[in-house]
Each structure stands twice: as structure tokens, then as C-alpha cells.
Amino acid sequence: MASVGIIGSGTWGTALGILLYGNGHQVEIWSAFDSEAEALRSTRLHPNLGEVKIPKEIGITTDLKSAMEEKDLLVLAVPSVFARETARKMKPWLKKGQLITNVAKGIEEDTLMTLSQQIEEELPEAEVTVLSGPSHAEEVSRGLPTTCVAGAHKKETAEYVQSLFMSQVFRVYTSPDMQGIEVGGALKNVIALAAGIADGLGFGDNTKAALITRGIAEITRLGMAMGGKMETFAGLTGIGDLIVTCASMHSRNRRAGILIGQGLSMEEAMKEVKMVVEGVYSAKAALALSKKYNVSMPIVEQVNAVLFDSVSAREAVTELMLRDRRAENSGLVWEQE
């Protein structure tokens, strides 16, 4: 049995707390807000997880020291925009070599750093790992079969994280490619916005398949330029997570996209979804990265144009459809030129 502190009492942190408790571990969840902690403690329900009960043995606290003290693992589960400030808050109580698994997905807009890079910068004494994959909290909390990947610099560490999370309904693979895992996890949110916009415009399955396939091509091009591995983008944290995010109504990015496709502005859509729509932040970062690494990302460009430049969703689609003609894969060789 391990002792685990979950830093962040959002939908995902709570679902993972329930999973880890079910695996026999001792779990304490930290919330940034007294009112939220109190509501979770008194109702034992999370507003986004329906009737799934939070076992009474799971501690819920706003005392960061208590959530971090004597823990074998800290799971960082705050939305990506709060990852750096939360890591900073954790510093006073961090023990040397503390194992941290980041489960949020995003790229920092100003620095273009992945979340594990931000955490490593703020907490150089920690051993930072990631857990990612096609895993909606709503389904994990109900015990529906799910797969994820634990990424770490060291094999032994990845295998330890795997051993803590793995269960009959939650299968965990290991990987040394943290960069690939994190780039895939952050950028799929941007493509999910595009998939939602297409749904909102009333387009069909052909369009969705096109966005998923060309979307992973963009993510792979950029991710490899950033040091990620091709195999990762073809795996659970790449195409796997992209498929689930573009297809599922659990995806807040897709839901926000649908509203934008139906004519709402980005701000109106974010208000309506009532959760942090990370794709909106990652869209800007993805565009900046595509420029930095000189990688073509037409879908990312058009999502940015719709979100920030008042281009209509329909105009953006036409722009994508009428780009210069090209081969599907420029790496393939013709028998005859």
C-alpha cells in the first residue's frame, strides 16, 4: 500500500483518487478552495462525476502541507494553467526526490514549456513523471475499462507509477518518451476544438475522420521536431487520446467547439462550458511552437484564426479545404515522377 496526495480536487484528481483508493492506497486530496473541499467532504460527490461516491476514507483538505507530508506519490491534477503556481506553492513542503506524477495537459503560453518542464523548473528536487491517455474521468470513476501510459525519465520509476495506478479496469503502459506524451496530450485539445466546430457547423463523420487524421499528422510533425517519438503519436497518448477527445461529449474542448461552430464567440462558449477549456490556451502555444520549429500546422492555424481573429468557422473550413494541393505523405516515393 502506498500513500498518495492528490494535488487538485477537480474532476480528474477526484476520479484518480477514487481509482487509487480502490487499488488499496491511502489517499488525501488537496483542494485550492475551502468551499470546494467542504462540499466534497459533506456530499462525498463531485459535481462532474454524477452519483459516484467519494469513499469516506479519502481525506479532503485545503492544507497543502498535510496533503504532501509522507506521501510516496503526489499526483498533480490542477488544470494546466494553474500547474506552475501550484508547484510554487508546494515548494516549502517538498522532500528531496519526491515522486510527482503530472496528469494535466497543456503547454505554457509564455514559455512554450510542457507541464513537466515547468514543474521541474519550480521543483528541481522532485522526480517528475506523467500519466496520460484516452481517459475521461466520468468513465474512470465508474470503473469502465481504460488505458493510460506512465512516462518517466527512468524505467524503474515508470514501472512504480504503473504499479500504483494499474487495476483490473485501468491498464497502464510505460514509456520513456515524456516529451511525446505531453505534446500529444496538450495538442489534442486544439484539434478537439476543431472537431467540435465541425460538429457545430453540422458536418459529418467524414469531416471528423479528416480532422483526426490530419490532426495527428500535425501533432506528429511538431512533436517529433520537439524531440518526441513517432511511436508515441501512433499510441494511446497520441492518436488514442485524440480519438476520444474528438468523439466524446465528455470532452469540454469539443463541447466548446460545438458552441463556437453554432455561432457563439470563444468567450461565450467558455462561459457556457463552465470548465477550463485548455485547448484555447494550447491553441496559441501550438501556433507559436509551429513557428518556432518551422512546422506546418494548418488546422492549428485555422483554430487560432477562429478563436482570436474573428474569422468565421465556415471561412476557416474553406481555407483548409482549398489549401495548395499536395501529396498525403511527402515522405513516400513515386514509382515514376
Ligand X SMILES: NC(=O)c1ccc[n+]([C@@H]2O[C@H](COP(=O)([O-])OP(=O)(O)OC[C@H]3O[C@@H](n4cnc5c(N)ncnc54)[C@H](O)[C@@H]3O)[C@@H](O)[C@H]2O)c1
Is 188 among the residues known to form the active site?
yes
**Does the protein bind ligand X through residue 82 (CB under 6 A)?**
yes
Which residue from 81, 50, 80, 46 is spatially nearest to 60, judged by alpha carbons?
A: 46
Residue 332: DSSP 8-state = S
Q: Which is nearer to ligand X, 201 or 216 (CB)?
A: 216
The answer to the question of residue 80 lying near ligand X (CB under 6 A) is: yes
Q: 162: helix, coil or strand?
A: helix
Stretch that binds ligand X, among 8-16, 197-205, 212-220, 222-230 (CB under 6 A): 8-16
> If binding is defined by CB under 6 A, does position 86 make contact with ligand X?
yes
CB of 106: closest distance to ligand X in angstroms? 6
Interface with ligand X (CB under 6 A), residue from 71, 105, 254, 255: 105
Nearer to ligand X, 9 or 304 (CB): 9
Kindly state whether residue 118 participates in binding ligand X, applying the rule CB under 6 A: no
Q: What is the dihedral of CA 191, 146, 150, 194, to 10 degrees?
A: 0
Binding segment for ligand X among 73-81, 192-200, 210-218, 221-229 (CB under 6 A)?
A: 73-81
Instruction: Name the residue nearer to ligand X (CB basis): 77 or 150.
Output: 77
Q: Tell me whether residue 80 or residue 175 sits nearer to ligand X (CB atom).
A: 80
- Interatomic CA distance for residues 3 and 173, integer angstroms: 21
What residues contact residue 314 under an 8 Å CB cut-off, 6+ apart? Answer: 201
* Tally of CA atoms within 13 A in the half-sphere of 181 that contains its CB: 27
- 10 sits near ligand X (criterion: CB under 6 A): yes
39 contributes a contact to ligand X by CB under 6 A: no
In the complex, least distance from residue 105 CB atom to ligand X, rounded to whole angstroms: 4
Distant-in-sequence, close-in-space partners of 316: CB < 8 Å, separation ≥ 6: 197, 302, 303, 305, 306
- What is the widest separation between alpha-carbon atoms in the chain? 71
- Exactly one of 5, 17, 79, 238 binds ligand X (CB under 6 A); that residue is 79
Rounded to whole angstroms, the Cα distance separating 238 from 230 reads: 9
Q: How many residues does the chain have?
A: 337
Residues annotated catalytic, as ranges: 188
Contact positions vs ligand X (CB under 6 A): 8-13, 31-32, 36, 48, 77-80, 82, 86, 103-106, 135-137, 275-276, 278
